[in-house]
Amino acid sequence: MSSSVSHNVYFDGKVQSLGILTEKGKATVGVMKPGTYVFNTSSHEIMEIVSGVLRAKLSGGEWLSYKKGDAFEVAANSSFEVKCDADVAYICYYN
Amino acid sequence: MSSSVSHNVYFDGKVQSLGILTEKGKATVGVMKPGTYVFNTSSHEIMEIVSGVLRAKLSGGEWLSYKKGDAFEVAANSSFEVKCDADVAYICYYN
């Protein structure tokens, strides 16, 4: 029997995600409302954009823009900053 | 100021989705746990698979299999049946 989908709420509900087990391992599918957010990683992450445009700045890096199908990697135990002017959907793979 | 992301729970939590406004209009990003589900549509929908494999049977049609990047359209005021053996993530556009 399957359990429920896990649901995560961040930043007063402006970022929310749903847990999923994929063929690439654990992941979350999420939506961000317009804003600027900082995320801290505990594991290596691959963020792939599903809808919208997300600007992201990795620790020590510069701001880059990602659209549907684009992805970026984030090292474990680091942080990254993101900004969006409209809603963004993403899938984040944890390795 | 942005409001919270909307969160929808179906089938005892085995299907959950998050609302998003996209450049194609309103949509939801969701996750399904393994199972068989029937959905009823009020508007025209385009379902696109984000992760996993979903089998779907439109009203009067046959079972077809859809993987990441594949999409199918469902007419308004109809229903469709889906099955998955592992978790599936999708984005559903409402026109």
Distance CA A34, CA B2 (A): 6
Residue B53 belongs to some domain of the structure = yes
ipTM for the whole complex: 0.95
A1: contact with B, CB 8 A cutoff: no
Residue A39 belongs to some domain of the structure = yes
- Determine the pLDDT at residue A71: 98
Residue A2 belongs to some domain of the structure = no
Distance CA B66, CA B92 (A): 14
Task: Say yes or no for a CB contact (<8 Å) between A31 and B33.
Answer: no
A89: contact with B, CB 8 A cutoff: yes
Say whether pLDDT at B1 is over 70: no
B36: contact with A, CB 8 A cutoff: no
Task: Say yes or no for a CB contact (<8 Å) between B2 and A27.
Answer: no
For residue B36, give its domain range.
7-94
- Determine the pLDDT at residue B93: 98
In tens, the pLDDT along B5-56 reads: 999 999 999 999 999 999 999 999 999 999 999 999 999 999 999 999 999 9
In tens, the pLDDT along B53-66 reads: 999 999 889 999 99
Task: Say yes or no for a CB contact (<8 Å) between B51 and A91.
Answer: yes
- Determine the pLDDT at residue B60: 87
Say whether pLDDT at A1 is over 60: no
Residue with tokens 């984040």: A92
- Determine the pLDDT at residue A2: 59
Residue A1 belongs to some domain of the structure = no
Optimal mutation site among B87, B88, B92, interface A, most CBs of chain A within 10 A: B87
CA A65 vs CA A46, A62, A76, A87, B12: distances in Å: 15, 10, 21, 14, 38
Q: At A41, which CATH number? A: 2.60.120.10
- Determine the pLDDT at residue B18: 98
In tens, the pLDDT along A33-84 reads: 999 999 999 999 999 999 999 999 998 899 999 999 999 999 999 999 999 9
Total domains present in chain B: 1
